[in-house]
Structure 1
C-alpha cells in the first residue's frame, strides 16, 4: 500500500522547534514520515532523529523514503510510544545520557490508515472489517468489542471516548442485533447507528457514526491511557530548553495535553485549601502556546483533514 499522508501544521512546528545541526529529536508518531524527513534535513549527519510507529506499514514506507533520500541520521522503531523510555534506552545504549532538543506527536490517523480497506477506520469504506487497530499485532479489535462487550461496557466506551449522547441506545441496539448474527463489517454497524439516531442528526454535517468510530478506535488502541503514560517520559527525555509539540484532533486528547502542560508548568499543585505547599512539585515546563494554534484557512483548504487539529507546544525549563 502506498503510504500517503500530509503532515499537519508542519511549518508552525518547524518554526517553534527550529532544529539545528547536531541536535537529537524524537518523532513519536512517524506516520508518513513528514515531520521526520524535514527534521532530518535540518539536523544533518551529526544529529539523530528517533522515529516511532506501531504500524509496520508506516515503518516499511519510511525505510523506502530513507533509502531514496540516503538519510543516515534516522532511527526507526516499530513500537508503541507508551514505551518511550525503553525505546530510547534500546536505541541509544552507547550514550545513556542522550537528551533531545525536541519531541513531536501527531495524534491523528494518517490518510493511509483511513483509506486502508483492511483496517475499517472509516465508515466510508464499504464492507470493511471492524478492525481499527494501529498495530498489526494488536489483539483487540472493534469487532471483538462490538460482539463481546456488555451493554454497560459499550455504553461507557461510547460515552467516555465518543461523548455520544445516544450511547446507551446504540449499545442496546448492538446487543439486540448481535443476538441474531455477529457484527463484522462497517456496513453492519452503520445500519445500527442510523437506525438508532433520529432523522435530524442524520442530516447534520458531522455523520452520526463519527463519534462511535472514534470511541471504538480509542478503546481498541487504548489511546488516552497511552498518551497519559508517554507524556512524563517525553519530558524526562528532553534536554533543558528542549521543546515538545503535540497535535491533537479531538477534545479528549487535547484536554489531556492541556492539563498536563498546565500542571507541569506550576511549582505547586496542592489543593487551594492547603494553607502551605506540601507537594514539593517543581515546574518542568514553560507553555509556549497560551492559546492553542490551529491550521490556517489555506491549510484546511489544501488538507481538509487538518480542520480539527490543535497544536500545543511547551519548553523544558
Structure 2
C-alpha cells in the first residue's frame, strides 16, 4: 500500500486531526489509503470515516473495514455526500492535495515529464478534457493565461504562441512531441523545473484543481462541527495561498469581514501561526515532502 504512495507528514496530519475514538472523519484524498488507515487505527467501533477519491486506481487500496465508506467522487461534492450518508456535522476533515506518487509513476497517465505517453493528465479517467485537448484546441490567449497563472512561467506568452504555431502543421499528441515543440523556451540548466511548471499548469487546468479546491473549502465550514479540525497539505503556492486566505478570512481575497463591534466574522481559527513543513530526515527519504505545507484550523 505504501508503494502506491508514501504519505507526507503522516504523523503530523493525524495528530492535527485530534481524533476521538467515536468521532466522524473525512479523508477527501484517499489515494493509497495511508492517512485513512492511520485514522481507522485510532477510531473505536463507534467511529466512522468517509474517504473520497476520483481516481479509479485508488479503489484497489480500500481496506475491508465496516467503519469506512468510500466515495468515488471529487471532493468538491463534500457536503452532498456527507449529507447523503447522514454524517453531518463531522469532527475532522483531511486533504492531501496534488498528485499521488502512483499517478506520477504510471507512464500512461501522462503526468510525468520522465516518460513518453499520451498527453492525458486526468485524475478522473472518466472525465472528457485531457492535456492533449488543452494544447491543441485552446486559443493563444487561453494558453498564455494558463501557463502564466497556473505555472507562474515568465515566458508564457511566447510559449503559447509557439504551441499554437506548431499545431497548425501537426497535432501535438505525446509528452515527447510536446517537449520537442517547446524546447527553445526551456532555460538551460533549469530544464526540470521549467517543465514541471508547464506540466503543473496543464494538470491544474485539466482537473479544474483550483476551482474544486475553492468549492471544497467553502463547504468545510458547513460540514465541520464547532471545534472540528480542518487539516490541509498543499504542494504549490497557488493552493497554499487559497488555503491560507480561507483559514484567515473565510474567503479567498479581500479583507476579513467584521461585525458592528469590530469582531472578525470568519468560520475558522488557525491552530498554527505558520504552515508546518517536513523535517530534513523526511525530505531525504521522500523528496516530494520538500514542497509540502501543512495548515491546520479549528472551526469556531
Q: Normalising by structure 2, what TM-score?
A: 0.94
Mapped pair 1:150 → 2:144? no
Structure 2 contact 18–229 (Cα < 8 Å) conserved? no
> How far did 1:132 drift?
0.4
3-state SS of paired residue (1:209): helix
Mapped pair 1:113 → 2:113? no
Quick one: distance in 2 between partners of 1:251 and 1:206?
Answer: 18
Alignment correspondent of 1:202: 188
Structure 1 contact 284–316 (Cα < 8 Å) conserved? yes
**Which consecutive residues of structure 2, in runs of 5 or more, have no partner in the other structure?**
none
Quick one: distance in 1 between partners of 2:80 and 2:61?
Answer: 21
**Which consecutive residues of structure 1, in runs of 5 or more, have no partner in the other structure?**
none
3-state SS of paired residue (2:181): helix
Structure 1 segment 62-211 matched on structure 2, within 5 A: 62-63=61-62, 66-67=63-64, 71-92=65-86, 98-126=88-116, 128-197=117-186, 201-204=187-190, 206-211=192-197
Mapped pair 1:47 → 2:47? yes
3-state SS of paired residue (1:234): helix
Quick one: distance in 1 between partners of 2:202 and 2:262?
Answer: 37
* Deviation digits for residues 38-75 of structure 1 (CA, Å, limit 9, x no counterpart): 001111221111000111111x2223xx13xxx22110
Quick one: distance in 2 between partners of 1:34 and 1:2?
Answer: 7
> How far did 1:279 drift?
10
3-state SS of paired residue (1:72): coil
> How far did 1:232 drift?
1.6
> How far did 1:193 drift?
2.5
Quick one: distance in 2 between partners of 1:176 and 1:218?
Answer: 23
RMSD of Structure 2 on Structure 1 (CA): 2.1
Mapped pair 1:269 → 2:268? no
- From the superposition, tell whether residues 75 and 19 of structure 1 become closer, same or farther in structure 2 (CA, over 3 Å): same
Quick one: distance in 2 between partners of 1:44 and 1:180?
Answer: 62
Quick one: distance in 1 between partners of 2:261 and 2:138?
Answer: 43
Quick one: distance in 1 between partners of 2:256 and 2:200?
Answer: 32
Quick one: distance in 1 between partners of 2:185 and 2:268?
Answer: 45
- Name whichever of 250-259 and 5-14 sits farther off: 5-14
Q: Normalising by structure 1, what TM-score?
A: 0.89
Q: Which ranges of 4 or more aligned residues in structure 1 deviate by more than 3 Å?
A: 276-281
Mapped pair 1:295 → 2:278? yes
Alignment correspondent of 1:234: 220
Structure 1 contact 3–61 (Cα < 8 Å) conserved? no
* Deviation digits for residues 239-278 of structure 1 (CA, Å, limit 9, x no counterpart): 111100100000000000001111039xx8349xxxx849
Aligned residues: 297
Mapped pair 1:216 → 2:202? yes
Quick one: distance in 2 between partners of 1:3 and 1:125?
Answer: 19
> How far did 1:170 drift?
1.0
Quick one: distance in 2 between partners of 1:46 and 1:252?
Answer: 38
Structure 2 contact 247–268 (Cα < 8 Å) conserved? yes
* Deviation digits for residues 85-109 of structure 1 (CA, Å, limit 9, x no counterpart): 11112222xx6xx321110001121
